[in-house]
Amino acid sequence: MRSALSFVNLMEALTLAGFRQRGVPMQRVRKALDYASRHTQVEHLLASERILTDGKELFWEFQQRWASEVHLVNISRGGQKAFPDAVMRYLREMEWGRDRFATRWWPGASPGEGAVVVDPRRAFGAPVIAGTGIRTEDVFSRFSAGESLEDLADDYGMTLAQIQAAVRLEVRLLEPERIAA
């Protein structure tokens, strides 16, 4: 059974997990969030497109996107100015809305290019195979019960790659539960 989180909470958790996976120490995350809470008025900072990492530090984009130059500050180090080249390598899986907050998550892919999407407007925010309402959890449940990937692809009218992507995502989502057990 999965815990109930809002979509924004999920995006914040995913962003934090992504920072940790890229090697950003939790102490730097805490310092960055403390600095940002004092110097920005963003309620859900970790769900914002303006927070970036290079795998060591956290940065905040404080200039509007339409400006010709990107201005970043290192919020892990008390607001030092930073150069964006290294920061811009940050792998993005989020699709951003006009308000610059995450609207959809494309696990393991660039927005619009993945086989699986998490959209709060579809399937109550459960991961689905892109372009369908087929929840990855349903595919995984049948796979876990012993059905073959090929049979699932036939039953759902999907490609083998789509079914594999659904199963991979569910395995990825279950990993923290295995570690905790």
Residue 111 belongs to a domain: no
Domain count, the chain: 2
C-beta separation of 23 from 59 below 8 A: no
C-beta separation of 92 from 105 below 8 A: no
- Show the CA angle centred on residue 178, arms to residues 51 and 102, nearest 5°: 25
Segment holding 102, helix H or strand E? strand 102-105
Cβ neighbors of 76 (< 8 A, separation 6 or more) are 24, 28, 29, 31, 32, 35, 57, 58, 59
Residue 97 belongs to a domain: no
Cβ neighbors of 73 (< 8 A, separation 6 or more) are 59, 60, 62, 79, 80, 81, 82
Distance of alpha carbon 122 from alpha carbon 7, whole angstroms: 12
Segment holding 129, helix H or strand E? strand 128-129
Same domain flag for 81 and 16: yes
Distance of alpha carbon 17 from alpha carbon 37, whole angstroms: 20
Same domain flag for 75 and 138: no
Q: How far is CA 26 from the centre of its chain?
A: 18
Distance of alpha carbon 178 from alpha carbon 173, whole angstroms: 10
Q: Which domain holds residue 174?
A: 116-180
Residue 47 belongs to a domain: yes
Distance of alpha carbon 173 from alpha carbon 127, whole angstroms: 10
Residue 52 belongs to a domain: yes
Residue 108 belongs to a domain: no
Residue 175 belongs to a domain: yes
Residue 44: per-residue pLDDT: 84
Residue 125: per-residue pLDDT: 87
Same domain flag for 12 and 57: yes
Report DSSP state, residue 111: T
C-beta separation of 84 from 74 below 8 A: no
End residue of a domain, out of 58, 91, 124: 91
DSSP-assigned states of every residue in 12-28: HHHHHHHHHHTT--HHH
Q: What is the mean pLDDT of each run of 10 residues along the chain (181 residues)?
A: 74 85 84 84 80 75 57 77 50 72 83 91 91 95 96 96 95 64 43
Residue 180: per-residue pLDDT: 42
Residue 2 belongs to a domain: no
Residue 130: per-residue pLDDT: 95
Could you tell me the CATH number of the domain that includes residue 158?
1.10.10.10
Residue found under tokens 């990993």: 175
Same domain flag for 81 and 134: no
Same domain flag for 27 and 77: yes
Residue 124 belongs to a domain: yes
Three-state secondary-structure class, residue 39: helix
